[in-house]
């Protein structure tokens, strides 16, 4: 039996296109990071084993840039929806721009740059904000600290929780993602038929069934959409 849709609930699924408009590089676009760096070397468990210092350097730079970036109009518009709705942001992004814009419920399915963790079977997690991780910097269990990021070959976090949120949302906004990264991209399949569903992106191979595709910048489209949804919330029922 499917869970009940909550009429006042919005779920936002966000990807790197939102952060790109704050100046942070994407990964897969023509100028993305994977055109310059090998993900096998800097974003995989195997790369970590072979050259951990290179992995740390890569993520130290990502963390510094993320800490210097500022939330953009799309981030703040998403946060503004909390004035009238229950809003859950499910993001593939590893920065904290959603939180810094004011969103109070953010689920990071690919980890967070602001945290480090050990490498044992039961690692402890540490908040490091924008600070670098150095070789020889250890967890209390004696293992080397690593970025608290989901690498290629590692399991996405909070998948079932995220899927349940999508399945109970009356409105689903997908923004800044081409829906090419799995299993995160499969979350859109949990959106209900009667939910209002919008995809904001520059390009996508095939918009998911039932979604309205709005091509363009998140910083232009999302604020206008948020204004419309807030007005709808203010209208008397019936």
Kindly report, residue by residue over 99-128, the tens digit of the pLDDT: 999 999 999 999 999 999 999 888 899 999
Q: Is the pTM of this model over 0.85?
A: yes
Can you give the pLDDT at residue 30? 52
Q: Are 189 and 39 in contact (CB under 8 A)?
A: no
Give residue 100's Cα distance to chain centre: 13
Q: Which residues are catalytic?
A: 110
Rounded to whole angstroms, how far apart are CA atoms 49 and 54? Answer: 10
Element (H, E) at 224: helix 218-234
Would you state the structure tokens that stand for residue 85, as one six-digit string? Answer: 């709705």
Can you give the pLDDT at residue 238? 54
Vertex 47: Cα angle to 38 and 110 (nearest 5): 80
Can you give the pLDDT at residue 202? 86
Rounded to whole angstroms, how far apart are CA atoms 122 and 237? Answer: 50
Per-residue pLDDT of the chain (238 residues; tens, 9 = 90+): 788 999 999 999 999 999 999 999 876 555 556 566 677 888 999 999 999 999 999 999 999 999 999 999 999 999 999 999 999 999 999 999 999 999 999 999 999 999 999 998 888 999 999 999 999 999 999 999 999 999 999 999 999 999 999 999 999 999 999 887 788 889 999 999 999 999 999 888 788 889 999 999 999 999 999 999 999 998 876 5
Can you give the pLDDT at residue 38? 76
- Residue found under tokens 């992004």: 93
Report helix, strand or coil for 46.
helix
Domain boundaries, the chain: 1-24+70-110+156-238, 25-68+114-149
Report strand pairing: 111-117 vs 125-127. antiparallel
User: What top-level class would CATH report for the domain 25-68+114-149?
Assistant: alpha beta
Could you check whether 1-24+70-110+156-238 and 25-68+114-149 share the same CATH topology? no
CATH superfamily of the 1-24+70-110+156-238 domain? TPP-binding domain (3.40.50.1220)
């Amino acid at each position: 039996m499917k869970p009940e849709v909550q009429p006042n609930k919005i779920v936002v699924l966000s990807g790197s296109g939102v952060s790109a408009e704050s100046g942070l590089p994407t990964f897969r676009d023509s100028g993305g990071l994977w055109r310059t760096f090998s993900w096998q070397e800097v974003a995989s468990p195997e790369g970590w084993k072979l050259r951990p210092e290179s992995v740390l350097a890569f993520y130290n730079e990502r963390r510094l840039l993320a800490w210097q970036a500022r939330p953009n109009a799309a981030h703040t518009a998403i946060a503004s929806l909390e004035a009238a709705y229950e809003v859950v942001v499910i993001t593939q992004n590893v920065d904290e721009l959603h939180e810094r814009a004011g969103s109070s419920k953010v689920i990071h399915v690919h980890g967070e740059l602001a945290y480090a963790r050990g490498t044992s079977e039961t690692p402890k997690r540490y908040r490091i904000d924008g600070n670098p991780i150095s070789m020889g910097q250890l967890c209390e269990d004696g293992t080397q600290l690593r970025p608290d990021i989901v690498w290629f070959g590692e399991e996405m976090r909070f998948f079932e929780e995220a899927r349940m949120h999508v399945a109970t949302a009356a409105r689903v906004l997908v923004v800044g993602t081409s829906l090419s990264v799995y299993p995160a991209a499969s979350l859109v399949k949990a959106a209900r038929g009667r939910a209002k569903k919008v995809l904001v992106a520059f390009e996508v191979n095939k918009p998911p069934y039932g979604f309205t595709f709005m091509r363009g910048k998140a910083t232009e489209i999302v604020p206008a959409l948020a204004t419309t949804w807030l007005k709808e919330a203010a209208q008397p029922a019936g």
